[in-house]
């Protein structure tokens, strides 16, 4: 995702003026484009029974991903709108952090982060450029979690070796606050281009269960991860 392009469009929207019939109470605004989730993550150490795995410095990082994003806004008044952001599922690789090199693969997960915000449009609806800000809530659902052989081997080593045959991971869903800033640049009465930035409070606990060859659970490792991503979107708008 070109962050400079996103920020440039935002700046242009805040500075430019114009006169095309834009948003009014009762309008619906559809925005679609490329959305990048860029985590600003931090984590606790990966712990089993209250102690850290390996050298007790293992932590978890989360990489970025870009998907197709779609948002819809209903204008309650000329100045306030209610917006829902959605996207195709994001997939994030989990990698080493702390004392682990970034090149170490720990697993992966997918998630959907629907975000509901109340938006404020400060300019009169006749302006061609429509900047806006918003605040609301985010609910993130994690699914299709997978662990890597590297993580399975580390858990096995901690338990003495030769015991762990497989591991499974489960991430708790997250509910938190969200904020956004964006701009629509109207090309005509219906179509335009859009750029937006969100911040979302996304925190989860990963539970990593270890199993022997017979399928018996041997223990569960846990790690708390604060993902707290910046989300960038560039795309097109259509209102009706």
- Evaluate whether 41 touches 225 at the Cβ level (below 8 Å): yes
Strand partners, 205: 224
**Residues 6+ away with beta carbon under 8 Å from 217:** 209, 210, 211
pLDDT truncated to tens, each residue of the chain (240 aa)? Answer: 455 555 555 555 445 444 556 688 999 999 999 999 999 988 877 766 555 555 557 788 899 999 999 999 999 999 999 999 999 999 999 987 777 777 778 899 999 999 999 999 998 877 889 999 999 999 999 999 999 998 888 778 877 888 899 999 999 999 999 999 999 998 988 899 999 999 999 999 989 898 999 999 988 878 889 999 999 999 999 999
Domains and CATH numbers, the chain: 3-239 (2.40.160.20)
Own/partner pairs, 120-125, CB within 8 angstroms, 24+ separation: 120/79, 120/80, 121/23, 121/78, 121/79, 121/80, 121/81, 122/79, 124/78, 125/21, 125/22, 125/23, 125/24, 125/78
Cβ neighbours of 51 (radius 10 Å): 10
Phi, psi of 173 (to 5 degrees): -65, 160
- pLDDT (0 to 100) of residue 55: 54
Helical (H) or strand (E) element with 9: helix 3-15
Taking the model in full, what pTM does it have? 0.82
């Amino acid at each position: 995702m070109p962050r400079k392009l996103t920020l440039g469009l935002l700046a242009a929207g805040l500075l430019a003026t114009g006169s095309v019939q834009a948003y009014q109470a009762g309008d619906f605004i559809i925005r679609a484009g490329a959305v990048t989730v860029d985590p600003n993550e931090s984590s606790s150490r990966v712990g089993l029974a209250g102690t850290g795995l390996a050298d007790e410095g293992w932590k978890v990082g989360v990489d970025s991903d870009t998907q197709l994003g779609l948002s819809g806004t209903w204008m309650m008044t000329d100045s306030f709108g209610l917006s829902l952001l959605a996207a195709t599922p994001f997939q994030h690789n989990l990698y080493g952090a702390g004392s682990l090199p970034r090149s170490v693969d720990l697993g992966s997960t997918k998630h959907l982060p629907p975000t509901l915000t109340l938006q404020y449009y400060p300019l009169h609806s006749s302006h061609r450029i429509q900047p806006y800000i918003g605040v609301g809530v985010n609910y993130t659902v994690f699914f299709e979690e997978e662990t890597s052989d590297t993580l399975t081997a580390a858990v096995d080593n901690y338990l003495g070796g030769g015991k762990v045959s497989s591991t499974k991971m489960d991430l708790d869903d997250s509910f938190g606050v969200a904020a956004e800033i964006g701009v629509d640049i109207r090309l005509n009465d219906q179509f335009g281009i859009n750029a937006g930035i969100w911040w979302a409070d996304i925190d989860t606990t990963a539970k990593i269960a270890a199993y022997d060859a017979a399928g018996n659970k041997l223990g569960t490792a846990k790690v708390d991860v604060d993902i707290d991503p910046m989300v960038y979107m560039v795309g097109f708008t259509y209102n009706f």
